Structure 1
Amino acid sequence: MNMTDTLGPHLPFLRRYARALTGSQSTGDSYVRVLLESLLDGNMSLPGDVPPRLGIYRLFHELWSSNIHLPAGEGASMHSSVEQRLQLVQPENREALLLSSVEDFTVDETAYILGTSEEDVQESIAAALHSIDQDLESRVLIIEDEAIIALDLENLVNELGHRVVGIAATRDDAVRLARQRQPQLILTDIKLADGSSGIDAAMAIVQDLDVPVVFITAYPEFLLTGQRPEPVYLVTKPFSRDTVRATIGQALFFHRPRMAA
């Protein structure tokens, strides 16, 4: 099996992870691109004693921790507005949280990827949750046409200390509520009640508001194609509380300084 067949199924999710970790689509994609180039050039090779998905994430972290300098102009947006916030949360803490909660690796798999112990991973997850929950209370708009899921998200968002300012089931309702209530975070499904699109709703909203968008969908393959701009923050249904919490925390963690500026 060639490298394309071996790694192809895992690359969309590695890009998702890299974007969430860096807080930037361009920066995350740049790290993944450099990793693939290193593999093709023979400068790096997949570990032969673990599954390919585990191996590629391990190699990504070797690259991420090497302080590699990206080509000029790539990833610059990350290093201005969020640098001081990043210093408040140790990188290994965020890495452990995202790997376990968003990428769904087990604690022992996360420890392998990060080259640390399971005890350290558990401590890092707890520390990251504590850090990203501080001072991030936000107004949240939910775009979801299934009432039960919308209610579940509303309860979860409220439990996390945020405030839901509206629930919309269609694109037009979402845009109207966003203009009226000025949310600081959007949680949206892709397929909405009247056949409209959560993607279209989000695109219309961000034209007026500088607000992070978290897509929550049962069909991540529709967004993670590599053939068009992809979301920085993406949660797959059925979702867990920890996954939504981690993703909301990352979105606000990176976006809040830009909003303040």
Structure 2
Amino acid sequence: MSQANETPDFSDQIAGQLPYLRRYARALTGTQSSGDKYAVATLESILQDRSAIEEAGSVRVGLFKSFHAIWVSSGATMEPVDDDGPVARAHRHLASLESNTREALLLSTIEDFSISEIAEIMGTDRDEVRHLIETARHDMKDAVAGRIMIIEDEPIIAADLRDIVSDLGHEVVGISRTRDAAVEMGNREQPDLILADIQLADNSSGIDAVNDLLRDLGDRPVIFITAFPERLLTGERPEPAFLIPKPYKEDQVKSAVSQAMFFASTETLKA
């Protein structure tokens, strides 16, 4: 088969994985703008040399492996922050972590790679990957505990999220099922983190509820949960750093909550 016939299929495969690479990059760096710079650099590298993709176990693994090589070679650094806000505090937290721990945890829990796939992406062995993930779990869990509000209209899911969050040592200040109730509760309880579904009980929007709260409360970490994450990872507007797909896994929620509380600097969707 000719190169001309192969290229569209290869491009389609890369395009299909790009939203998830961008999600990973945002969670890793803390901002959409910084994460997208690394994603663009990855694509530019692939355009120059496709061998990393072609030699990998899959296009998805090869894409993340190419990203990881650029991330590591750049020093795994984020854009400088001069103030003493949440991003600056995140930099200080990150400086104390063992190299590659957050990367391994995110690849495992948020992106759902296997231990073998993570080892290939990071250029290490499976035992080292397991060590990195366990180290990250310990460091993130012990880093900070706070007050969390849940916006979720399904009672069973809401109860499950409450239990998961509580097991991490956080206090759940309340559960809301609609936009209006969420705004009222959030302004009353002043949560440190918001965990929100997209579609609420009265067909109102969890995105709208979050944006109302951030306008009233100021910047704070947010995690969105949705059955259709690809609809929100379009690159056409600001996106959440932490986006969990439904049906979720307990480890995904734990990782996202610990990361968001630890990093305390997520961007949110605009209505």
Give the Å deviation of 1:79.
7.2
User: Given the alignment, which residue of 75, 87, 93 partners 1:85?
Assistant: 93
1:28-177 mapped onto 2 (5 Å cutoff): 28-40=35-47, 42=48, 45-49=51-55, 50-67=57-74, 75-77=79-81, 80-177=88-185
- In structure 2, what is the equivalent of residue 241 of structure 1? 250
Aligned-partner SS, 1:98: helix
Give the Å deviation of 1:216.
0.9
Matched-pair identity in %: 46
Task: Provide closer, same or farther for how the CA distance between residues 79 and 176 of structure 1 changes in structure 2, counting only shifts above 3 A.
Answer: closer
Preserved CA contact (<8 Å) 2:106 2:255 = yes
- In structure 1, what is the equivalent of residue 269 of structure 2? none
Spell out, residue by residue over 1:144-172, the C-alpha distance to the aligned partner (whole angstroms, 9 max, x if none).
00111001101111111101101000011
TM-score normalised over the length of structure 2: 0.88
- In structure 1, what is the equivalent of residue 3 of structure 2? none
Aligned-partner SS, 1:47: helix
Spell out, residue by residue over 1:64-109, the C-alpha distance to the aligned partner (whole angstroms, 9 max, x if none).
0001799xxx934497432221111123111111101110000000
CA distance in 1, matches of 2:158, 2:107: 26
Amino acid at match of 2:17: H
CA distance in 2, matches of 1:196, 1:163: 26
Amino acid at match of 2:263: F
TM-score normalised over the length of structure 1: 0.91
Give the Å deviation of 1:45.
4.3
RMSD, matched Cα = 1.9
Preserved CA contact (<8 Å) 1:26 1:75 = no
Give the Å deviation of 1:177.
0.4
Unmatched segments (≥5 aa) in structure 1: 257-261
Equivalent residues, number: 252
Amino acid at match of 1:20: A
Task: Provide closer, same or farther for how the CA distance between residues 215 and 69 of structure 1 changes in structure 2, counting only shifts above 3 A.
Answer: closer
CA distance in 2, matches of 1:38, 1:47: 11
CA distance in 2, matches of 1:66, 1:80: 22
Aligned-partner SS, 1:214: strand
CA distance in 2, matches of 1:81, 1:159: 25
- In structure 1, what is the equivalent of residue 4 of structure 2? none
Pair 1:206 & 2:234 matched = no
Give the Å deviation of 1:54.
0.6
Preserved CA contact (<8 Å) 1:30 1:75 = no
Aligned-partner SS, 1:140: strand
Aligned-partner SS, 2:54: coil
Amino acid at match of 1:48: E
Preserved CA contact (<8 Å) 2:87 2:264 = no
Stretch deviating more after TM superposition (56-65 or 202-211): 202-211
